[in-house]
Chain A
């Protein structure tokens, strides 16, 4: 873990700083923390144009990755709105970054649903979905916690990790942006990531 890593970690995140031990003991009550080494790994998903998108497609450019779901009324659209604003503020630099929204609710978030939903946000954002097993793999490797929670009326919500992951062009974790992080701090982290 390097210095930069800590710099882009929010206060709430810092409070969650734990060792890899917690991850190894993952249970429903102990969500895995991304504040450990070894975030990332091979994955194979489907993009919002229904084309295969694998971990190889992420390499070569720094990446900003967010995990969420479209049924989320507040945190996910808010985060995607902020991400869109940051990309807009980056201007032409935004294309030097790969920005990805991965659903943790593949049962409802089909490629077509992701495409429709993301049409309301910055066009640089790529939507990714997959089979439950494929999503489980990327969530495990990125230490993303998610859990289905039934609500009255037969529907369900998803508890899920709310961090934005910043990855280098070589697929290493560069830092995290916490929910509610001020735009100025997020922009500084993105500019640093782009400088490499």
Chain B
């Protein structure tokens, strides 16, 4: 399953000339789509990962955690902004609920995978292997492309995700064409 998914992803990436193509990943009645990890600034002690989870089943599940060989640890966090402009970030107690028949999206300005202690800089075009842990469905390996926003999902179109996130029109947070770590003006000469 994992190897198959990776093989498909690799083949897809080659077909699309290096674009970050990701197949939806199935785990029981859960479908995982649109995984991506934000590129990290040099030496950044943390990173954020995002994805959508569709629950086709009749029972609730919970995303309780994740692991990756590319970082010290991973937690499920929620970011919120108070009326006074204070940013808060908290672990989601008991894990993130994935209600039956719903799609829950981890997206900027809402839920994210808090990737603590990346072992190296995450650069656009690279991939981060993550094992997601669900309370009932168990574990599943998902390859997260490093990108400035959600990437095309391949043949299965799930449409815009509903619920679970307060994400606005800020996806990726960057202006079009911007890549963190390769900031305009940073390089000695711009093409």
Contacts and interface: CB of A to CB of B under 8 A. Distances in A.
Contacts, number: 145
Contacts of B174: 78, 81-82, 85
B95 to A, nearest CB: 12
Contacts of A159: 86-89
Contacts of A153: 73, 75, 116
Interface in A151-196: 151-153, 155, 157, 159-163, 178-180, 183
B90 A149 contact: yes
A108 B86 CA distance: 20
Contacts of A120: 40-42, 44, 180-181, 183, 186
A121 B41 contact: yes
Interface in A33-85: 33, 70-75, 77-78, 80-82, 84-85
A150 B154 CA distance: 39
A119 to B, nearest CB: 5
B79 A74 contact: yes
A116 interface: yes
A163 B85 CA distance: 7
Interface residues of B, number: 43
Given A84-B184, A152-B91, A116 B175 contact: no
Nearest to B72: A153
Contact of B186 (A70, A122, A152): A122
Given A71-B45, A162-B87, A78 B178 contact: no
B86 A162 contact: yes
A17 B48 CA distance: 31
Interface string B43-54: 111111000000
Given A87-B185, A121-B186, A77 B83 contact: no
Contact of A85 (B82, B85, B114, B178): B178
A119 B183 CA distance: 9
Nearest to A180: B170
28 contacts: A70-B45, A73-B44, A73-B114, A73-B115, A74-B108, A74-B173, A78-B170, A81-B180, A81-B183, A84-B184, A85-B174, A87-B185, A88-B184, A94-B185, A116-B43, A117-B44, A119-B42, A119-B186, A120-B183, A122-B183, A149-B89, A151-B75, A151-B91, A155-B116, A157-B89, A160-B87, A162-B86, A178-B85
Interface of B: 38, 40-48, 73, 75, 77, 79, 81-91, 108-109, 112, 114-116, 168, 170, 173-175, 178, 180-181, 183-186
Given A12-B83, A88-B184, A179-B81, 4 more contacts: A71-B46, A118-B41, A152-B91, A160-B87
Q: Which 6 A-B pairs have the closest CB atoms?
A: A78-B173, A120-B41, A116-B43, A73-B48, A88-B184, A73-B46
